[in-house]
Amino acid sequence: MFCIVAFLVLSIIGIFSASHRALAKEAFDCVFRRITFRPCNTGFSEKMKAQLIGKMMTKSIRVARFLNRNFELLSWILFILTVASLFWTGKGLYNFYMYGSCNGLNKSGFCALDPTGENNKISQAGGSCSIGSGDESKVTLKDVNLSTFPIKDIGSKDNVVFIGCFNCDYTRKAYPIFKEFLSKNKVNYTFAHYPVKGETSYLLPIGYCAYQQDKEKYWKFVDKLFESSKEDNAKPEYVGKVLTDLGYSSESITKCTQSPETKTAVARQRIELEKTNIYGTPLVFINNRGLVGPKPFRVYDRILNGLKFWK
């Protein structure tokens, strides 16, 4: 087994060092013979063993003796560790490419390719920003009534839901990526504002009324708030100007937001969102599969098209 491990290691080193390429070729010949049930005729294993033990003897006779007696056993252990390491490295690379995390979808453990955990960070309910600390396995759309939320229904078989806060840093990071995803895929799209930042709670009835009064202008309103600064979004007078610039009647919006029907509808929407087990934003559902935190475009795209492929 030593020749297999040596081949893997020397092949990598040989990319950068010409002196190791000959050894890599010799190791490959040994590996090829071993997998075809023939003994190595190059003496590669014995040569490398002699070199290792020789170097070790200059440092510790006891260790060199142990290495000599147990060389084959140690070779097997090293082989198993090498295979396991390659497997977990490959799995980590696959997970990062597919889900934006080495550990899998919504998993927030350390990832060398995303050391700061940006792809899993959220603004938690209550306003703090951190790596997601809820139970991502429990986010769900089961028994959630989304019928009163803003939707672009194009009659597609695929449905996506974007739940976010206008002033959440990570929602703001995810939104343009998600918009690109929407532009390249024909899906029904539902948006829900979930204000983890207290200063944007007043936008709930305003958004509800804006959608009820003009569904086309509403989506421009959403885009504008994500483009605006967080400081401006916290100012009712600024949001009022945005609505006026879009052609809304400020008096009509104000009257609507103050009605008991609107207050009841907004409260019911909040109850429905809580049923998703949301613990922070952004939270995206693609055909009922939840994704927590701002993911790269490829993750959204492959979750959708991967699910379609297996249907």
Q: Which residues contact 6 (CB under 8 A, 6 or more apart)?
A: 23, 27, 30, 44, 48
Instruction: Give me 90's structure tokens.
Output: 């490959």
Q: Are strands 151-152 and 129-131 parallel, antiparallel or unpaired?
A: unpaired
Band of residue 19 on the pLDDT scale cut at 50, 70, 90 = low
pLDDT at 13: 41
Instruction: Give which of 246, 214, 257 is closest to 238, Cα–Cα.
Output: 246
Mind listing the pLDDT tens digit for each residue in 71-97? 566 565 655 656 666 666 676 676 666
pLDDT at 60: 81
Q: Cα–Cα distance between 180 and 9 in angstroms, integer?
A: 42
Reply yes or no on whether the pLDDT at 276 is more than 50.
yes
Given a contact cutoff of 8 angstroms between Cβ atoms, the answer to whether 291 and 105 are in contact is yes
State yes or no: cis peptide before 282, omega within 30 of 0.
yes
| Ramachandran region, residue 100 (left: φ > 0; alpha: ψ -120 to 50; beta: rest) | left
User: Computed from CA positions of residues 228, 232, 235, 240, in that sequence, does the dihedral angle turn out positive or negative?
Assistant: negative
User: Computed from CA positions of residues 80, 81, 86, 90, in that sequence, does the dihedral angle turn out positive or negative?
Assistant: positive
Band of residue 128 on the pLDDT scale cut at 50, 70, 90 = very low
Q: Which residues contact 58 (CB under 8 A, 6 or more apart)?
A: none
pLDDT at 266: 97
pLDDT at 309: 39
Mind listing the pLDDT tens digit for each residue in 24-65? 555 555 655 555 555 555 555 666 666 666 777 777 887 777
Q: How many other C-beta atoms are found inside a 10 Å radius of the C-beta of residue 230? A: 16
Structural domains in the chain, sorted by start: 2-87 (no CATH), 120-310 (3.40.30.10)
Reply yes or no on whether the pLDDT at 311 is more than 70.
no
Over residues 11-33, mean pLDDT: 50
The mean predicted confidence, pLDDT, of the chain is: 78
Reply yes or no on whether the pLDDT at 69 is more than 80.
no
Give me the residues paired with residue 191 across strands: 162
Q: Cα–Cα distance between 269 and 263 in angstroms, integer?
A: 10
pLDDT at 127: 45
Range of weakest confidence among 64-68, 121-125, 216-220? 121-125
Q: Which residues of 77-93 are buried (b: 16+ CB within 10 A; e: fewer)?
A: ebbeeeeeeeeeeeebe
Q: Which residues contact 237 (CB under 8 A, 6 or more apart)?
A: none
Q: Which residues contact 218 (CB under 8 A, 6 or more apart)?
A: 150, 207, 210, 211
Reply yes or no on whether the pLDDT at 212 is more than 90.
yes
Q: Model pTM greater than 0.75?
A: no
